[in-house]
């Protein structure tokens, strides 16, 4: 007699619960992974001037770091060697600046779902190269230029602690501070003559792309009012193409000699008798010392010929330059010399002739700066050099028209009695 088959074992309740719980956990894990990917790939830049696909998702990419090129970034984002080669081949058919890729150049990757459909390479906010793969995998490349908006604006304020700190705290770029100081550098020594409460105004152009700041443009007018006096400068370009900055009377703001070989530094020792910190005796200090970090560039105060570049006793590394009119200048304690600075070489005003150091007899990094007239040391802070050429008399009427336009723009933001 064949025994009847055993009845199937009823399902255990705990197994059903475990199976359902596993399904729930799997769904939750997939959701968490999706959220993680979305947070990591959250958009930060717009990838290009136009959207190649209305339903595309645009994600932030990366930026070139020091010593990197585009291929490094593409590899970091897991593009295969074949894809990188195709990207380079496509860019090679354009004027892509392979030799001028710089740290900070940005790369954005565009995805549709999980598929990479495009890459954007930005030299800056306004220009770059757009690469796109179509549905058949063909890669096309296009150079683009986004519209740049020009805004004419006035920046004004009062000095708090220093001109540099004040403008930087206002959100301005270091280059603007330097350019402003350069325009008035022959009238005001921004190392020694600026005090808290002094006022300033700058009329300039600023460039924007889609309301995002791109860069500062030309400075058209500047104004400074402080204890040392009130000064203004106006940009003027002649019909022949010569441009310069002039005061309200049409006199050039440029002079044949810079007031200082450093733009932003602190005077640590003045011209005259002093107690020498190393020799411990009172003796004549024949120049001015500027405290500045090692490596700070030092500029020639005027055109001239290098009469000495080498080591000279307590000066350490020294550059001496002969200028016209019997004037000479010395720059001591340098950590090194500027490019091409050798005895007998010609240098131009503003050229880097060396770098701040502490060679020779020095207790810390600083520049020892001397000016000699006819071989006799004179106080560098009191040398008043002659001006460059003024506006030609035949163009004064045109210059006055341009100047008055600048003043009207400045006065829209600055009280009239603060202008000369």
pLDDT tens-digit map of 175-201: 999 899 989 988 888 877 889 999 999
Residue 92 DSSP SS3: coil
Tokens of 385: 């050099």
User: What whole-number distance in Å separates Cα of residue 370 and Cα of residue 290?
Assistant: 11
Q: What is the DSSP letter of 252?
A: B
Per-residue model confidence (pLDDT) at position 275:
67
Model confidence over 143-155: pLDDT tens digits? 988 899 999 999 9
DSSP per residue over 2-60, as a string? PPPPPPPPPPPHHHHHHHHHHHHHHHHHHHHHHHHHHHHT---S--SSS-SSTT-EEEE
Burial of 138 (0-12, 13-18, 19+ CB in 10 A): exposed
Please identify which residue in the block is written with the tokens 């080498």: 310
The average pLDDT across 336-360 equals: 94
The mean pLDDT of the chain is 83
Per-residue model confidence (pLDDT) at position 12:
57
DSSP per residue over 366-408, as a string? EEEEEEEETTEEE-GGG--PPB-----GGGHHHHHHHHHHHHH
pLDDT band at 355 (very low <50, low <70, confident <90, very high): very high
Per-residue model confidence (pLDDT) at position 116:
85
The average pLDDT across 397-419 equals: 80
pLDDT band at 366 (very low <50, low <70, confident <90, very high): very high
Per-residue model confidence (pLDDT) at position 207:
93
């Amino acid at each position: 007699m064949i025994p009847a088959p055993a009845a199937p074992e009823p399902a255990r309740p705990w197994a059903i619960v475990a199976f359902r719980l596993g399904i729930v956990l799997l769904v939750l894990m997939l959701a968490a992974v999706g959220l993680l990917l979305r947070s990591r790939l959250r958009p930060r830049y717009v990838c290009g001037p136009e959207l190649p696909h209305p339903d595309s998702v645009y994600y932030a990419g990366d930026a070139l770091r020091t010593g990197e090129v585009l291929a490094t970034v593409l590899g970091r984002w897991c593009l295969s060697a074949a894809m990188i080669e195709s990207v380079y081949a496509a860019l090679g058919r354009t004027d892509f600046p392979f030799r001028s890729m710089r740290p900070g150049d940005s790369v954005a990757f565009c995805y549709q779902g999980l598929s990479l459909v495009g890459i954007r390479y930005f030299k800056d906010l306004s220009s770059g190269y757009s690469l796109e793969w179509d549905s058949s995998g063909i890669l096309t490349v296009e150079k683009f230029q986004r519209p740049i908006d020009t805004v004419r604006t006035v920046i004004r304020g009062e000095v708090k602690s220093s001109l540099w700190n004040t403008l930087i705290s206002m959100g301005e770029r270091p280059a603007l501070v330097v350019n402003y100081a350069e325009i008035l550098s022959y009238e005001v020594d921004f190392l020694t003559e600026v005090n808290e409460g002094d006022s300033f105004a700058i009329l300039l152009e600023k460039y924007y792309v889609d309301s995002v700041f791109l860069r500062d443009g030309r400075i058209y007018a500047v104004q400074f009012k402080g204890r040392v006096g009130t000064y203004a400068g106006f940009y003027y370009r002649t019909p022949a193409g010569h441009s310069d900055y002039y005061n309200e009377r049409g006199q050039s703001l440029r002079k044949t000699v810079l007031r200082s070989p450093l733009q932003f530094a602190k005077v640590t020792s003045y011209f005259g008798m002093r107690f020498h910190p190393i020799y411990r005796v009172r003796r004549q200090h024949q120049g001015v010392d500027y405290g500045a970090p090692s490596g700070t560039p030092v500029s020639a105060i005027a055109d001239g010929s290098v009469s000495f570049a080498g080591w000279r006793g307590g000066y350490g590394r020294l550059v001496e330059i002969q200028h016209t009119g019997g004037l000479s200048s010395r720059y001591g304690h340098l950590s090194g010399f500027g490019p091409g600075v050798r005895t007998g070489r010609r240098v131009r005003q503003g050229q880097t002739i060396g770098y701040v150091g502490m060679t020779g007899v020095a207790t810390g990094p600083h520049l020892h700066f001397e000016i000699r007239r006819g071989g006799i040391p004179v106080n560098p802070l009191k040398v008043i050099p002659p001006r460059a050429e003024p506006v030609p008399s035949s163009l004064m009427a045109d210059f006055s028209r341009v100047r008055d336009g600048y003043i009207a723009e400045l006065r829209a933001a600055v009280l009239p009695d603060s202008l000369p």
